[in-house]
Amino acid sequence: MPLGDRGSDKSEARFCGVETDFNDDMPQVLSFNLSTGGFDFVVAPLMDPSYRPSLVQNNSLGSGALPFAASDLVLSPSQWSSHVVGKISSWIDLDSDDETLRIDSETTLKQEISWASHLSLQACLLPAPKGTSCSNYARCVNQILHGLSNMQLWLRIPLVKPDDDSVDAKPATLVDSWEIWNSFRLLCEHHGQLSVALDILSTMPSANSLGRWFGESVRAAIINTDSFLTNGRGYPCLSKRHQIFINRCFNHSIQIIISGNSGHPKASADSNDFHNYSVADLQRHPLRQYLEYVGHLYQKLDPLPDQERFELGYRDFLQSPLQPLMDNLEAQTYETFEKDAMKYLQYQRAISKALLDMIPDEEASVKTIVLMVVGAGRGPLVRASLQASEETGRKLKVYAVEKNPNAVVTLHALVRLEGWEDTVTIVSSDMRHWNAPEKADILVSELLGSFGDNELSPECLDGAQRFLKPDGISIPSSYTSFIQPVTASKLYNDVKAHKDVAHFETAYVVKIHNAARLAPCQSVFTFTHPKPVVDRESNQRYKKLHFMIPNDTGSAMVHGFAGYFDATLYKDVHLGIEPSTATPNMFSWFAIFFPLRTPICVKPGSKLEVDFWRCCGTTKVWYEWCVTSPSPSPIHNINGRSYWVGL
């Protein structure tokens, strides 16, 4: 593995391949490029590039054998599948006006894919469309996709977009290559086995333009040697903009492929640079120095933080949100949440500030604050409250209210273990139905979901508010939900795989990683506690939002909306996951994802209008959402038919 190791990061991005020419001797191709060159895999043509079906007489092939690179027996099945990506003949043009070329192209494409499938290759690299029209190419590929088992097809797309940020771009002649990809994948119905291999050129579009690709299904980045510069020692290097892009590729599990011929002089063997190969190595493989440079970039990446390592297995994995009122949480769920030290530290800070505000120093020894933890779980907020009491020197009387009888067992054991019997009273009851023996000065809860109110904190705290004193404090005191439009091809395809409307009308908790955020977040719904007695406002909400797509982004596909929250616990103590204000080192909440049944294409500089509703019934709460501009979508989840939270 030439690129190095990053702790527990085992993504495909640590592998690097090389594009090769046609060669009949596949064992020699692997030996030269893997053993000598140090690459992990080859992108190799499967068929003699001079072959054309129309030039071959029916009987000239003798037994009918096609001019493939080699018999399937020359490599083991594991070598074919692990070390070879098939490169489909680059001459094919399925949208050519030349009928002979078009028919030859279609025949050859099907023959090569069939052979690659026979070899059990993991992927094949399809040549880039020859022009802006690619409907026949896409039709043939779509036919093939519907007959494939597990093999991926990577469509080669040059990374170009005409804009002012691309110095050498000629807007009159360049087309935004994302438009070509988008047209192709729409014709192929967003098929999950169709991905992108980006051809990295010497000039790069703007950062916003590049960003949208990280929400697409990009499996490889092909760097031609022409894109490399030469440093002072004569070694290949990349521009800062290229380096930033390649680093993002590493972090999104995109594999690097080196292509082209060496254009750099061989450096001296006694160099003190980062390269550790000899002149003999360079003479054996001319592209080794490019591989070493890519490995150098990989090894320079900062190690993954503990939180990122913890969350690796959750990246882009769709989970159904919790039903905290209908279901009792399991011990494993409690344990995961309780490990989030930052969350409870923020709660402790908020409680400490509230205690100091409520009791002056001169009354600290004689006055006792009544604090109720509603939804106490297995006791982390009880512990945080008592630590705040000790920190501030204020006296507390704590009621720990919990409806889950299994968690109550643990609470009793905790109280005995810590010797809290004189301070903590455990109440096994639903907070909405409990009759408190006295009023509380402070009400503490952790009922927030990924979207703030989606685990029914408003309804629960409305029910618990009756036992809070008129001047009492609620922690949290308010929370706001946020959304932003995202390109998230993987999430969309994972939802689409269920082949029903219901999954497109469900909100999912997900650690969103391979996504492009197309516009800044906007606030949706806000709830404040305690709610004034005179305020009989319903917990139903409706909001229309307007997102502007930046001019330099280019066109992009909106697959859905990422949702977040930000909460004010008390005064200036915040807690949340909204990206611009997110609490660091906190993992209790991932984002929420609202999918669209049909993705919406947005143009640069255009406005995206979105409507969101929070609806309340007698037994459930649910969300409805839709897009009204640039083109209207259906209203998702009408009447909560697919997704709801039970009261």
- Annotated binding residues for S-adenosyl-L-methionine, as ranges? 334, 343-344, 402, 430-431
Residue type, 615: C
Q: Are strands 522-528 and 478-487 parallel, antiparallel or unpaired?
A: antiparallel
Annotated binding site: 334, 343-344, 402, 430-431
Q: Is 592 exposed, middle or buried (0-12, 13-18, 19+ CB in 10 A)?
A: buried
Contacts of 410 (CB under 8 A, 6+ apart): 378, 379
Q: Which helix (H) or strand (E) holds 562?
A: strand 556-570
The b-or-e profile of 406-438 (16+ CB within 10 A means b, else e) is ebbebbeebbeeeebeebbebbbebbbebebee
Question: How many Cα atoms are found within 13 Å in the side-chain-facing hemisphere of 100?
Answer: 5
Residues for the chain: how many in total? 647
Going by the DSSP 8-state scheme, the letter that residue 202 receives in this structure is S
Going by the DSSP 8-state scheme, the letter that residue 449 receives in this structure is B
Contacts of 254 (CB under 8 A, 6+ apart): 12, 13, 218, 219, 220, 221
244 backbone dihedrals φ, ψ, rounded to 5°: -60, -45
Give the end-to-end CA distance of the chain in Å, rounded to a whole number. 53
Question: Which entry of 446, 505, 578, 624 is annotated as an active-site residue?
Answer: 446
Rounded to whole angstroms, the Cα distance separating 294 from 300 reads 10
Q: Are strands 478-487 and 556-570 parallel, antiparallel or unpaired?
A: antiparallel
Rounded to whole angstroms, the Cα distance separating 42 from 255 reads 12
Rounded to whole angstroms, the Cα distance separating 566 from 383 reads 23
Contacts of range 355-364, beta carbons closer than 8 Å, 24 or more positions apart: 355/388, 355/389, 355/392, 355/394, 355/396, 355/442, 356/392, 356/394, 358/394, 358/441, 358/442, 358/473, 359/394, 364/392, 364/393, 364/394, 364/395
Rounded to whole angstroms, the Cα distance separating 154 from 49 reads 19
DSSP state string for 148-171: -SS-EEEEEEE----STTSTT--T
Q: Which structure tokens are listed for 130?
A: 């020859």
Contacts of 338 (CB under 8 A, 6+ apart): 377, 378, 380
Q: Are strands 424-428 and 440-444 parallel, antiparallel or unpaired?
A: unpaired
Question: Which entry of 455, 459, 578, 624 is annotated as an active-site residue?
Answer: 455
Residue type, 347: Y
Q: Is 112 a catalytic residue?
A: no
Peptide bond into 380 cis (omega under 30): no
The 10 Å Cβ neighbour count of residue 268 is 10
Distances from the Cα of 100 to the Cα of 49, 67, 85, 129, angstroms: 16, 19, 28, 18
Q: Is 446 a catalytic residue?
A: yes
Q: Distance from CA of residue 218 to its chain's centroid?
A: 12
User: Which residues are designated catalytic?
Assistant: 446, 455
